[in-house]
Amino acid sequence: MRRLLLALPFALLPLAIAQAAEVHDHEHEHGSLGAHEHGVGRLNAVLDGLALELELESPAMNLVGFEHAPSTDTDKAKVAAARAQLEQPLVLFSLPKAAGCVVAKQELQSPLFGDKPDANEHDDDDDHDADAKAADGHEHHHEHSEIHAHYQLTCAKPDVLKTLDLSQIFKTFPATVKIQVQLISPSGQQGVEATAQAATLKF
């Protein structure tokens, strides 16, 4: 059952790409779906009782416009601005004030933030790059930097959360073309693909 649900967003992709092609001429990205793909983010959203958990993963390119370690003042300013925006989940996810949601915990991770993605990572990046390509090239490699944001919120009135509105994410980070969402709520689990034109999801 779970495999079927997880496959659902991918079944919708050909139609979505065809519809978006006119607007987004750069929608010719190819490669494995669910992997690192520019313009595509991933979101897991779980509403369970008073708890709302949101986990957003995105290529850094979608959020700051590059994937290398920031070296210039301009790059550093872009990273700082993106981080500041990601530190405001109530705004970013357009959560209604009536729901009374407060942030219980949040965690932002990215090589661009100077974080070490793995506690076992060597300090010598060159050595690690060689190791990463040889061992697990799909994880932690610097040419494909990811930004990972994890939020745990407590909502006093979760019944108010009828929908999840992602429109602010698309406005804040316009290089994000679509977000593949796994949504789990009291009504069940669903796989949905959100775009700027269809940014509101039902819990």
Distance CA 60, CA 110 (A): 8
Distance CA 102, CA 86 (A): 15
* Phi, psi (degrees; rounded to nearest 5) at 90: -65, -35
| Mean pLDDT score, 24-42 | 58
pLDDT confidence band for 37 (50 / 70 / 90): confident
Whether residue 45 contacts residue 149, with contact meaning beta carbons closer than 8 Å, is answered with: no
Write out the two tokens for 164.
């999840």
| Residue percentage of the chain with pLDDT more than 90 | 65
Whether residue 107 contacts residue 150, with contact meaning beta carbons closer than 8 Å, is answered with: yes
Whether residue 191 contacts residue 182, with contact meaning beta carbons closer than 8 Å, is answered with: yes
pLDDT confidence band for 144 (50 / 70 / 90): confident
Q: What's the pLDDT at 100?
A: 98
Q: What's the pLDDT at 78?
A: 97
Whether residue 39 contacts residue 27, with contact meaning beta carbons closer than 8 Å, is answered with: yes
pLDDT in tens, 58-86: 999 999 999 999 999 999 999 999 999 99
Is the pLDDT score of 12 beyond 90? no
Q: How many residues does the chain have?
A: 203
- Distance from the first to the final alpha carbon of the chain: 19
Is the pLDDT score of 7 beyond 70? no
Q: What's the pLDDT at 143?
A: 59
| DSSP state, residue 70 | P
Is the pLDDT score of 150 beyond 90? yes
Which residue carries 């006093």 as its tokens? 156
Q: What's the pLDDT at 145?
A: 92
pLDDT in tens, 91-140: 999 999 999 999 999 999 999 998 754 444 444 444 444 444 434 444 44
pLDDT confidence band for 8 (50 / 70 / 90): very low
Among 172, 173, 147, CA closest to 59? 147
Residues forming a β-bridge with 45: 54, 183
How many DSSP H helices and E strands does the chain contain? 7, 8
Is the pLDDT score of 57 beyond 60? yes
Whether residue 187 contacts residue 92, with contact meaning beta carbons closer than 8 Å, is answered with: no
Greater pLDDT, 36 or 44: 44
Q: What's the pLDDT at 27?
A: 34
